[in-house]
Structure 1
């Protein structure tokens, strides 16, 4: 996963909410847990919090950072920010210990539009013990949304289309013309009442006013004239995704 320097943003291939494993060099299993998995701040709410829990039998070292979250050219970007602060940013958790991490806004003024951030929690590798095996450490990436001022309703407005990527793979592009994010999961083909799920679980987020795309592990012949649906923002029912003709 590349981390660029200077003014270039930090680009992540995992658009999703969550976590992924990093392999290091020993035999210790990762045990860090984070809750909740996302934060929603009201326009005048200045702070919220996360809980870190070490459910294992050995101490863990944890680093917590916060980034502005943007999307560009179908990719997530995480940029350094001073608009949110986390405290404490570094922590050692003993076995069974919990730690409250405060997420605090630097500017309490309500934003004019919905703001998106990600809190990234890294379990740092311990000193490599003698012996063979692998050490697994975790990285969590939690969305944080600050809702805007005003009485205008927040809603997403999605439209999908099929693309063909430069490597020939088909991809689903989703544009969100609304003013609020949409989380997509369980993407299916066919009617929303009885879909054939082609991407189980979380696909990713589309922020308000942005466009994202994801490759589909589906033969192109099956996608001709296909209709799509997905579960939006954790809803239990599938929502149809209107599809425009393929652009290329």
Structure 2
């Protein structure tokens, strides 16, 4: 299908050598591709330099909301497709995106449901079965909330919609990879809580991680995902514990 309405595809990256080539090829239908890279050290920048249709900007990482808002400002076209390096669009989703932007709509932003994969295994439960995220929107109708520095949320000026077809999310290459991600997100979340004056206590260290595990593994059926489900639910709970461990460090250091 011919795309007469131009689309800007945006990515923020850091050390994505395992994904970068595949994702760039996956979004090659876009009229421009802009990558804001947090100064990768694993060969991501060198691989990006091989693509003549990609504009790469090196920028120090502050937090996810800040990086995404910066990337938004680099887009030349009214419609923006924001994608992470470990996400892939199916052919049906690509066609739906092109059809959507080429037809009149009063919807400012569209969400997409993501299908999760852990070490190439489809994860159907473990808390991921209802995951949706904003990925397609009109550039001048969206801004990421600055004080929401992790699991960043866009502020939408207008109506929201949801696309029919799913996106694939190859988010965890290994248990060690997932653990590193959880620690990174937890550190940022701890900083967010610290700025709000929050202080951890025994409830946060004991009950919150336990609750997270039980909800995802039992009530959200993580046990049906087998060994991978247990690993994911355990590491999600570990991420909660790590968040409050980092928050305690921040509060303790402020007393010195």
Structure with the bigger percentage of helix = 2
Q: Which has the larger radius of gyration?
A: 1
**TM-score scaled by structure 1?**
0.27
Structure with the bigger percentage of strand = 1
**TM-score scaled by structure 2?**
0.26
